[in-house]
Amino acid sequence: MSTSDSTASYGDIVRRLAGAQKVSLPGSPPYSIYVNRKAGRLIAAWAYRAGLTPNAVTAISAVLTFAGILSIALIPPAAWSGLLVWLLLALGYAFDSADGQVARLRGGGSPAGEWLDHVVDCAKLSSLHIAVAIAMFRWFALPPAWLLLPLLYAIVAAVTFFGMILNDLLRDARGGQRTREPGRRALAHTILILPTDYGILCLVFLLLGWPMLFTIAYGLFFIANLGALAFALPRWFAQMKQLGKEVR
C-alpha cells in the first residue's frame, strides 16, 4: 500500500489492513492480538484517510496514555476516575497499535518512527507504576511498605520490555528466527501470560474506586508478571546462546 491509496473508502482500507496484518506467533498476548490490533486497524484507516503520519498517531497515543497516567496520580480514586483512566489507557494502546499499521499503508515504516514508538512505550511502562505509587501514597490508607509494590512492578515491567526488544533486535541482526510453540503449549502459554498483557492490566484500573480491591488485583498482577519474568529470563538467555552458535 502507498499514499496513492488515499482515495480508497474507509471500509476498503480496513479490509486491506486485515489482509496485510502481521502473522501472530502462537501463544501471543490475546488482548493485544484479538482486541487491540483490531481497534488499531479501525483507527489506522481513519488516520490514513485524514492524512496523519505514523509519528502523529504515536503522538496521539502518547497524549492519551500520559493523560491516563497523570489521572492516576492526580485524581482521587473513584469509580468514575477508574473508568476515565481505563478509557484513556485503552485508547492510547489502540493508537499505539495503529501507528505501525498507518506506516504499512504509507509504504513502510522508518527507523526513526520505530525508535519513537519504543521510547514512548518504555516511558509509559515505567511511569504507569510510578503513578500508582503516587496514588497509593496520596489516597490509599496503606502502610508505607506497600509503596514498594508499584516500584518493584516498574522494575519488572522495564526489564521485561527491554528483554523482549533486545531479543528481537539480536535475532533480526543475526538472521535468527522467532520460536513457535506447539499447539497445546501455545494455548497454555496464552493463558499463563494473560496478566502480562498490557491491555488486561489496563482493566485493573476500573477498580480504582475500591482501593483495597485494586491493590489486591494489582498485587496479583505483579506476582504473575514477576513469575513470568523469572521463567522467561533463563529461557531467553538459552535462546541467545543458541543463536550465537547458529551464526558462527
Please state the pTM of the whole predicted model. 0.87
What does the alpha-carbon distance between residue 82 and residue 207 come to, in Å, rounded to a whole number?
A: 6
Q: Where are the domains of the chain?
A: 3-246
The CATH number of 3-246 is 1.20.120.1760
> At residue 1, does pLDDT exceed 50?
no
Nearest to 224 by CA among 212, 214, 232: 232
Q: How are the residues of the chain apportioned to helix, strand and coil, as percentages rounded to the nearest 5?
A: 80, 0, 20
pLDDT, residue 32, reads: 85
Q: Are residues 57 and 43 in contact, defined by beta-carbon separation less than 8 angstroms?
A: yes
pLDDT tens across 235-245, in order?
A: 999 989 888 77
What Cα–Cα distance (Å) separates residue 73 from each residue in 49, 70, 207, 209, 227?
36, 5, 15, 13, 27
pLDDT-derived band at 66, boundaries 50, 70, 90: very high
Q: What is the residue-averaged pLDDT of the chain?
A: 87
96 touches 113 (CB < 8 A) = no
pLDDT tens figures, 189-205? 666 778 889 999 999 99
Q: What is the pLDDT of residues 106-139, one digit of tens each?
A: 877 788 989 999 999 999 999 999 999 999 999 9
